[in-house]
Amino acid sequence: MNNKELAQLIYPSLPHTPEEYESMYPKRQLADGAMVTRLGPSPTGFIHLGNLYGAFVDERLAHQSGGVFYLRIEDTDDKRFVENAVETIIGSLSFFDINFDEGVTADGDIGSYGDYTQSHRGEIYRTFAKKLLEQGLAYPCFLSEDEITAVREKQEAEKLSPGIYAGWSKYRDWGKDPEIEAEIVSRINAGDPFVVRLRSKGVPNASAEETERHTVTDAIRGELSVPDNFQDVVIIKQTGIPTYHFAHVVDDHLMRTTHVVRGEEWLPSLPIHVDLFEDLGWELPVYCHTAQLMKIGEDGNKRKLSKRKDPELSLDFYRKEGYHPAAVREYLLTILNSNYEEWRIENPDAPIDDFEFTTEKMSSSGALFDLDKLNDVSKNTLLRIDAAELAAWLKGWSDEFAPEYAYVFNDMELLEHILDLGRHDARPRADLVYARQIMDFIGYFFDEAFEIRDEYPAEAAADKEAILKAYLESYDHSDDNEQWFGKIREIATELGYAAKPKDYKKHPDEYKGHVGHVSTVIRIALMGRAQSPDVWAIQQIMGEDKVRARLQAAL
């Protein structure tokens, strides 16, 4: 029996030939330089910051070059399936403005390179596996789990590389031994379970000098020197479903992906993929192996972000806290491309997509996630969003994640005034960071959240009533900022406080305190806290009634 007959025995009926698939999925008609990228999540539905980081690279590359970005569901591991995962994935990403042109959607596939769900592509994978079988580049393997374990133990004892490769699976050389050939045929006929393994061409356990190497271009890391693969990896599992390795090669070829963006954890299996691409006679895509996002662990060491331990890793964290998606994107870009911040300083108002993203500027070492930096980026990002938009966005956030703040949104116009406080000054305030923080920051405007939080300053606590009484009596809501502060100065002076802090600093014995202490008393009565934006501006937004009521209550 020859290879062809064996292949026929294993896969007797397949609807299409490899050539037919090639013509069903022809090379894409795209402009020069247009990149085709893809995101291939498994359907656990869990998308974390690391996924977003990678997805962002895919999205930018494709959309910046006039190419195509598509979603493929990689569900070759049936144990990982989670209900509604696809919707969750698409939803999480679109929240961050990452949208697909093609692939799986909530209402079926879009695009002519599908099916985009790997578990629906069994016939395609089997067709190409059959081709490899016919050419003797793959073989059926009946090794049981126990046998494989035994092999590995023996290899460990002999200090050899673990795995199935030349010399370790009798099925590999099936053509040479009639006895094995007979066994294979009878077991296939008997319906025994088997896997299809790649018959690798590399020399097992060769020394560094003897190992053949291939040069592969990585758009992030430059030229990679990849050794020959000698592992007979499984390409089709017992279930008939391909492994990642095989699915990656077949899909990315047939879907005409030009750039494969994936985490650096794939680097060690690159030899397998190179081997497979060569066996199938296909051109290699450009690989972009991204560095992992890390986090500092309890032990002080860097470590990969883990979904169990790190709440800030889950995209939900940002949504629940109310980080604006634009801020998260902005932050991600600062760690993705080292020249981004510089660009942003030069182009403070440009849309983020105007930035020319390049893989060359990506770091090949893993970045540590930095919440401080995110917060800073977020402050500046929010400054670029106008109050009405911000208010609407906050409402959406509250509706979904924080209904306890519903009272904030009863008067949207009022909210806009509050949010705009000090934002249009020559040197705008930057104190809005994320929704939950904003709710607290502006809380004193609302009776529902108002509380006296801070202590009255020691210098003026004794005069609290006198100050507030005098203030209330002199209060004129139509005073402008200057008139208003003039009155505070008068009150301060009358009660024995310095009208200017400097005077008090120079002659601390001559005064009880200074005008700052007096205004702090007023600030606390009105806002409940010792720190706030300009009191006059706040009063104008609050309205006279509320101002008088608060002062009265504090007496």
Partner RNA sequence: GGCGCAUUGGUCAAGAGGUUAAGACGUCGCCCUCUCACGGCGGAAUCUGGGGUUCGAUUCCCCAAUGCGCUACCA
By the rule CB under 7 A, 531 interacts with RNA: yes
By the rule CB under 7 A, 342 interacts with RNA: yes
By the rule CB under 7 A, 164 interacts with RNA: yes
By the rule CB under 7 A, 33 interacts with RNA: no
By beta-carbon proximity to RNA, the closer residue of 170 and 395 is 170
Would you give the DSSP letter of residue 141? E
**Short-list 413, 344, 419, 433, CA closest to 386:** 419
Q: Would residue 103 be called left, alpha or beta, if left means φ above 0 and alpha means ψ between -120 and 50 degrees?
A: left
Identify residues 177-236 at the interface with RNA (CB under 7 A).
193, 195, 208, 221, 224-225, 227, 233-234
Structure tokens at 214: 């291939």
Minimum CB–partner distance for residue 376 and RNA (Å): 4
Give me the phi and psi of 288, to 5 degrees please.
Answer: -135, 95
Instruction: Tell me the number of residues near RNA by CB under 7 A.
Output: 89
Give me the phi and psi of 260, to 5 degrees please.
Answer: -100, 110
Question: At which residue do the structure tokens 């009155």 appear?
Answer: 487
Site string for RNA, 432-471 (x = CB under 7 A): ----------------------------------------
**Amino acid, single-letter form, for residue 180:** I
Of 13, 29, 365, 478, the one binding RNA (CB under 7 A) is 365
Of 127, 532, 539, 540, the one binding RNA (CB under 7 A) is 532
Other C-beta atoms closer than 10 Å to the C-beta of 149 total 11
Identify residues 144-163 at the interface with RNA (CB under 7 A).
144-145, 148, 152, 159, 161-163
Of 294, 388, 466, 541, the one binding RNA (CB under 7 A) is 294
Minimum CB–partner distance for residue 380 and RNA (Å): 8
CA distance 503 to 82: 69
By beta-carbon proximity to RNA, the closer residue of 145 and 354 is 145
The answer to whether the beta carbons of residues 272 and 124 sit under 8 Å apart is no
By the rule CB under 7 A, 341 interacts with RNA: yes
CA distance 6 to 3: 5
Cis peptide before 75 (omega within 30 of 0): no
Site string for RNA, 263-282 (x = CB under 7 A): -xxxxxx-------------
By beta-carbon proximity to RNA, the closer residue of 193 and 281 is 193
Identify residues 490-509 at the interface with RNA (CB under 7 A).
500-501
* Segment interacting with RNA (CB under 7 A) among 56-64, 239-247, 277-285, 322-330: 239-247
Identify residues 99-128 at the interface with RNA (CB under 7 A).
none
CA distance 223 to 14: 39
By the rule CB under 7 A, 54 interacts with RNA: no
Minimum CB–partner distance for residue 203 and RNA (Å): 14
Minimum CB–partner distance for residue 545 and RNA (Å): 22
Minimum CB–partner distance for residue 29 and RNA (Å): 29
Query: Which residues are within 8 A (CB) of 111 and not within 5 positions of it... i.e. 6 or more apart?
Result: 68, 70, 101, 102, 103
By beta-carbon proximity to RNA, the closer residue of 367 and 414 is 367
By the rule CB under 7 A, 29 interacts with RNA: no
Minimum CB–partner distance for residue 220 and RNA (Å): 9
By beta-carbon proximity to RNA, the closer residue of 224 and 388 is 224
Three-state DSSP string of 195-247 = EEEECCCCCCCCCCCCCCEEEEEECCCEEEEEECCCCCCEEECCCCCECHHHH
**Short-list 282, 274, 288, 137, CA closest to 212:** 274
End-to-end CA separation in angstroms for the chain: 102
By beta-carbon proximity to RNA, the closer residue of 268 and 403 is 268
